[in-house]
Amino acid sequence: MGLYLLRRLGLAVPTLLGVTVVVFALIRLIPGDPARLILGLQASEDEVARLRVELGLDRPLYVQYARFFARLVRGDLGYSAVTREPVIGEIGSRLPATVQLAVSSIVLATLVGMAAGILSAARQYSALDYLVMTVALFGVSLPVFWLGLMLMLLFSVYLNWLPAGGYGTPAHLVLPTVALAAFSVAIIARMTRSSLLEVFNQDYIRTARAKGLHGRVVILRHALKNALIPVITVIGLQFGALLGGAILTETVFAWPGMGRLLVSAITARDYAVVQGVVLVFAGLFTLVNLAVDVLYAYVDPRIHYG
């Protein structure tokens, strides 16, 4: 297992390197002069030119990338062109809020989604099954920013139960978590249902039922464990999607995470911050995929990593 983990971490290096190249190229295709955006329309051309030299924007792209990569190897993500603060410091101050939101959302999505999927599979073609799948269809279809605004309107404006935005207390976490988790709840519920229905057709499940075991025992002890592999895969993918979806959620609820930092950096053409945030997102997604692979071996003893 240790050798496998080292090999996977080694393979992640070229992936992250490719991410840096793609992000470096795409951010520079966005129209607008970063120096002009930072200084404003009232700045003179000489001031803009000096800032371009200071930021290294007057150099060829391959030279800019070489400088960025050289700093990256040393663990230096550069400095924000707007705040003049180290990028790694700005990310470090925002990362806990994003991780808190993503973890709470994936926990909620996993608990509710798997419970709904199990109930739906156990009552296949019943009214409950149709109700769960209909709700799941709506969950997949609802845009997260629209759902966030509707939750804010209902629970903050009309009922005045929860704060509309901000950060700091458990109450502030409720609405962003629900809005962000809705899509993942639907996906996990549908995958749990389909995976369980496939397992229900196996011979050992029919044998367990023929022995007179209670339906709950058959589902939870025999069927669910063997249906978890695709569900775990979906949960891992959804966690990565939640990190990206947090960009919209954090914007709607004024959540001080990396999503809001990324949006403001893109608006200001703050290249260093954009590159740093996307690289951290890519690194987190890579680690999540690695954790999912490790969980496979614990869930299914037949899986071994040499």
- Is the pLDDT at 306 greater than 60? The verdict is no
| pLDDT (tens digit per residue) in 82-139 | 788 888 888 888 888 888 888 899 999 999 998 988 888 888 888 888 888 888 888 7
Exposed / middle / buried, residue 242 (Cβ in 10 Å: 0-12, 13-18, 19+): buried
pLDDT, average across residues 2-31: 77
- More confident site: 4 or 198: 198
> For residue 4, what pLDDT is reported?
64
Q: For residues 82 and 67, what is the distance between their CA atoms, to the nearest angstrom?
A: 19
> For residue 302, what pLDDT is reported?
62
Two tokens at 259?
């999503």
Q: How many Cβ atoms are within 10 Å of 60's Cβ, its own excluded?
A: 8
Q: Which residues of 71-106 are buried (b: 16+ CB within 10 A; e: fewer)?
A: ebeeeebbbbbbeeebbbebbeebbebbebbbebbb
How much is the CA Rg of the chain, to the nearest whole Å? 24
CB 191 within 8 A of CB 109: no
4: amino acid identity, one letter: Y
Containing H/E element for 234?
Answer: helix 228-252
Q: For residues 81 and 64, what is the distance between their CA atoms, to the nearest angstrom?
A: 14
Q: For residues 262 and 255, what is the distance between their CA atoms, to the nearest angstrom?
A: 12
Range name among 46-60, 141-155, 269-283 with the lowest pLDDT average: 46-60
pLDDT, average across residues 137-142: 80
pLDDT, average across residues 221-237: 80
CB 101 within 8 A of CB 246: yes
Q: How far is CA 232 from CA 220, 282, 293, 300, in A?
A: 16, 19, 9, 11
pLDDT confidence bin for 76, thresholds 50/70/90: confident
> For residue 124, what pLDDT is reported?
81
Backbone φ and ψ for 129, nearest 5 degrees, come out as: -60, -50
- More confident site: 107 or 14: 107
Q: In whole angstroms, what separates CA 215 from the centre of its chain?
A: 35
Q: Would the CA dihedral through 172, 100, 108, 105 be positive or negative? A: positive
CA nearest to 264, candidates 80, 79, 39, 58: 80
Which residues have CB under 8 Å from 48's CB, separation 6+? Answer: 33, 35, 36, 39
- pTM confidence score: 0.81
Q: For residues 83 and 90, what is the distance between their CA atoms, to the nearest angstrom?
A: 9
Residue with tokens 């549908």: 190
Specify the length of the chain in residues. 306
Q: For residues 276 and 280, what is the distance between their CA atoms, to the nearest angstrom?
A: 6
- Is the pLDDT at 74 greater than 80? The verdict is yes
| pLDDT (tens digit per residue) in 172-222 | 889 999 988 888 888 899 888 888 888 877 777 777 777 766 667 777 776
Ordered structural domains, the chain, with CATH: 87-299 (1.10.3720.10)
> For residue 107, what pLDDT is reported?
92
pLDDT confidence bin for 245, thresholds 50/70/90: low
Q: For residues 245 and 225, what is the distance between their CA atoms, to the nearest angstrom?
A: 29
- Is the pLDDT at 264 greater than 70? The verdict is yes
> For residue 139, what pLDDT is reported?
79
| pLDDT (tens digit per residue) in 146-157 | 888 888 888 988
The percent of residues in the chain predicted with pLDDT above 70, rounded, is: 90
Two tokens at 125?
């073609």
The full DSSP string for 182-220 is: HHHHHHHHHHHHHHHHHHHTSHHHHHHHHTT--HHHIII
pLDDT, average across residues 261-289: 84
